[in-house]
Amino acid sequence: PIPEGMDSTAALRNLELAARHEEIKQKVLVQEAAFREKRGYRAPYWELVRMANEARIEFRKKLQ
């Protein structure tokens, strides 16, 4: 259902962005788990940002 006051285009865009976010999030979680397994500590913020950027670039390539 579309929330009251939101047009259908905005609702579809919101659904697409939510799906994109979830896919990128899952890839980052997998990479972070591998980082933790390999190094024995949680990935620092800048590594998480790098992982997210790599996942974002990979997602965009998949769309083309």
Domain locations in the chain as residue ranges: 28-64
Q: Element (H or E) spanning 54, and its range?
A: helix 45-63
Q: Is the pLDDT of residue 40 over 90?
A: yes
**CA 23, chain centre distance (Å):** 5
User: What's the pLDDT band for 64 if we cut at 50, 70, 90?
Assistant: confident
The pLDDT of 37-60, averaged and rounded, is: 97
Residue 12's pLDDT is 92
Predicted local confidence at residue 44, as pLDDT: 98
pLDDT at 3: 79
Give the residue from 52, 32, 31 showing the smallest Cα distance to 42. 32
Q: Quick one: pLDDT band at residue 30, thresholds 50, 70, 90? A: very high
